[in-house]
Amino acid sequence: MASTVIAAEPVLAAIQEFTQADNPSAFLAVSGGNSYFTLPSRPGVIVYRRSGRFLVQFGGPFAPPESYRDLLTAFVAMAREEGLEVVAVQLQRADARAYATAGFTVNQIGASWAVGLADFSLRGTRFMQLRNKVSRSFRAGLTVVETTDDRYYPWLREIDQVWLRGKGEHARPMEFLIGQYGDAMQPYRRMFVGLIDERPVGYISYSPVYGSRAGWMHDLSRREPSRVPGIMEAINVTAIEKFRAEDVAWLHFGFTPFTGIQPENELPDHDPGFHQFMRVLWTHGEAVYPARSQLAYKEKWAPDLVIPEYVGFLGGASVAGFAHIFRACNAF
Amino acid sequence: MSGTHEEAIGAALNRTLEMFAAVCADPDNRELAGTADAALAELSRLLRAGGAEGAVA
C-alpha cells in the first residue's frame, strides 16, 4: 500500500542520494507543509501539495532509475482513484522527457540560473555598478555575519512582515516553491544576516544543492526598506567570498517562472498555446509574478548557466492546472 | 500567416489570459476551469494551423 505520511528526514536522504535530475531547488522538498508519496520497499519519494482537485507535484520523483517510473505510475493511479488531477512543476529536463513518455503534456515554465564560483570575480566594467552599491552599503555601516543563532529569527520575521506589508494589503506569504528558515531543517541551510548598528536589516538564506552541480542556492531573502543601497548585494558578496574559500563550485539563484522561455527548450509534443501563454506572462505578467525584477537581480551576477524548467500536465495543458500551482503556493 | 489568422490568435491569447484570471478568482469552479482549458486548446489549435510559434508574444 502506498504511503503519504512520512517524516522529512527520509525525504532529505532521497534528495541527497537520488540526484540524477539535478534539481537545484530539491531542498524545497523538505519544507514544512509538503505531502509525500512513497511505495513500500521501493526507494524514492514524490513531493506534492493538494490544491482543490489538483495534486501539485514539486519536481519529478526523487528516486533511482529503477523505481522512478513505478513511483510516478502509482502516484498517477492514486490520483485517478481519488478523482484528482496531477500537475508537476519544476521538472528538470530529464524529468520532462520521462513525463512526456508517461502521457503528460510538458512545457517549459521558466528557468533557474547559476553562477560557477571557481573563476568568479567582481572585477571589470560589468560589475562596476554592483561593486559601487556594495561599497556604499559597507560605508553606511553594514556588516554581514553568517549565523546559526536562532535569536535572530524574531528580527528576521519582523523584516518578513514589513516586506509583506510593502507588497500591498492583499499580499500573502508564498509557500511550497519558496524557501523557509528556522525549522527542523535549518541545520542544513546557511543564514547570512546584514546588520546596521547591530540590528538585522536583511538576510539571505542559502539551501544546499546536491548532484553534479552541487553548491548552495540563494534561497529566501528579504530586507527592510532602507535608504542604504546594496544590502542584499553586500550579503551575497560576503557569502560568495566564503563559498569560494570553501571551494564551493556553484551558487544557484533558483527558479523564476516565465524566464528563459525559448522554443528550442521545448519538447516535441509541447503545447504551443501554453508556450505563448508563458511568453506573454514574461512580457506582461508582473501582477502574476514579478519575474522581470527577480531576473534583473539574478542577472547582476552574470549567471553562467540557464537551466530550463518544466511543467507537466496529466493529459492536456491546463489553465486550471497552472492556476493551481499558484494556489498551492498560497498566491491566492 | 494571414492577418485574419494572426488576429484570431491574438484574440485567443487574450481569451486565455482572461480565463486564467477568472480561474484564479474562482479556482474550484470546474465549469470555469473547463472553459479556460478550452480557450487554451483553441489557441493551440490556431497556432498549429498557422504553423508559427516563435513570434507571437
Does the structure show a pLDDT above 50 at A57?
yes
Q: Flag whether residue B28 sits within 8 Å of chain A, measured between CB atoms.
A: yes
Three-class SS state of A175:
coil
Residue A33 Rama label (left phi>0; alpha psi -120 to 50; beta) = left
Give the nearest partner residue to B40 out of A279, A280, A317, using CB atoms. A317
SS in 3 state form for A111-158? EEEEEECCCCCCCCHHHHHHHHHHHHHHHCCEEEEEECCHHHHHHHHH
pLDDT tens digits along A121-173: 999 999 999 999 999 999 999 999 999 999 999 999 999 999 999 888 888 88
pLDDT tens digits along A219-248: 999 999 888 999 999 999 999 999 999 999
Q: Flag whether residue A293 sits within 8 Å of chain B, measured between CB atoms.
A: no
Lowest mean pLDDT among A56-60, A215-219, A288-292, B24-28: A288-292
Using DSSP bridges, classify how beta strands A104-116 and A305-314 pair: parallel, antiparallel or unpaired: antiparallel
ipTM here: 0.91
Residue in chain B closest to A332 (alpha carbons) equals: B24
Confidence of residue B3 (pLDDT cuts 50, 70, 90): confident
CA A28 to mean position of chain CA atoms: 7
Best of B1, B9, B24, B31 to mutate (most A CBs within 10 Å, chain A): B24
Q: Flag whether residue A315 sits within 8 Å of chain B, measured between CB atoms.
A: no
C-alpha cell at A206: 542559502
Give the nearest partner residue to B40 out of A263, A283, A319, using CB atoms. A319
Residue A300 to residue A210: CA distance in whole angstroms: 24
Higher pLDDT, B52 or A31: A31
Which pTM was predicted?
A: 0.94
pLDDT given for residue A171 in this prediction? 86
Given an 8 Å threshold on Cβ–Cβ distance, is B27 in contact with A52? yes
Contact list, B39 vs chain A (CB under 8 Å): 319
DSSP A178-230: S---SSTTGGGSEEEEEEETTEEEEEEEEEEE-STT-EEEEEEEEE---SSTT
Give the mean model confidence (pLDDT) for residues A97-117. Answer: 98
Please name each of the domains of chain A with its CATH number. 8-111+258-287+306-328 (3.40.630.30), 115-253 (3.40.630.30)
Give the mean model confidence (pLDDT) for residues A306-321. Answer: 97
Which among A59, A93, A129 has a CA at the least distance from the CA of A262?
Answer: A93
C-alpha cell at A171: 499580499
Q: Flag whether residue A50 sits within 8 Å of chain B, measured between CB atoms.
A: no
Q: Flag whether residue A172 sits within 8 Å of chain B, measured between CB atoms.
A: no
pLDDT tens digits along A193-216: 999 999 999 999 999 999 999 999
- A311 forms bridges with which residues in the sheet? A107
Given an 8 Å threshold on Cβ–Cβ distance, is A276 in contact with B57? yes
Contact list, B23 vs chain A (CB under 8 Å): 319-320, 323
Confidence of residue A1 (pLDDT cuts 50, 70, 90): very low
Does the structure show a pLDDT above 90 at B52?
no
pLDDT given for residue B57 in this prediction? 53
pLDDT tens digits along B9-20: 999 999 999 999
pLDDT given for residue A170 in this prediction? 83
- A312 forms bridges with which residues in the sheet? A88, A106
Percent of chain B with pLDDT strictly greater than 90: 81
Confidence of residue A4 (pLDDT cuts 50, 70, 90): low
A18 φ/ψ angles, rounded to the nearest 5 degrees: -100, 85
Question: Average per-residue pLDDT in chain A?
Answer: 95
A47 and A59 in contact (C-beta within 8 Å)? yes
pLDDT given for residue A7 in this prediction? 64
Contact list, A273 vs chain B (CB under 8 Å): 12-13, 16, 40-47
Give the nearest partner residue to A276 out of B13, B28, B45, using CB atoms. B13
